[in-house]
Amino acid sequence: MKTLVLFALALAAAAPLATVAHADRPTAVGVRFNDLDLNNPTDAAVMLGRLDDAALQACGAAPFESLREYQSTIRQSRCYVRSVSRAVATLGAPAVTAIFDREYGGSE
């Protein structure tokens, strides 16, 4: 099964909200993509959505449980930006990279 593992530093997510227990160790979140054709624009968008969910989780926000305002704050954090940027680069899928560049301005 193809899975990309996203690493993030919980401390960088939202420093005032990060707990000490999470501050000293990276968080790894697996992102499945064996069911996607990453050359297909629709599947590439699905993959980017999965990376978004994983980065939210790794950086301190549960995608389905956290308030939108908190998720928005996490999406602006260094943890989130670096996590998604690195995951997109590691994935090496041109269609995913194109959507990322268009919608998120590319990288850090």
pLDDT tens across 41-98, in order?
999 999 999 999 899 888 887 666 668 888 888 889 999 999 999 999 999 999 999 9
- Burial zone of 88 (CB within 10 Å; 0-12 exposed, 13-18 middle, 19+ buried): buried
Give the CB-side neighbour count of residue 98, counting CA atoms within 13 A. 11
Q: How many structural domains comprise the chain?
A: 1
DSSP state for residue 48 in the 8-state scheme: H
pTM above 0.85, yes or no: no
Q: How far apart are CA 45 and CA 73, in angstroms?
A: 22
Q: Are 32 and 50 in contact (CB under 8 A)?
A: yes
Number of C-beta neighbours around residue 84 at 10 A: 25
Domain that holds residue 29: 3-104
Q: What is the pLDDT of residue 106?
A: 58
pLDDT, tens only, 4-48: 766 654 334 344 444 444 445 567 888 989 999 999 999 999 999
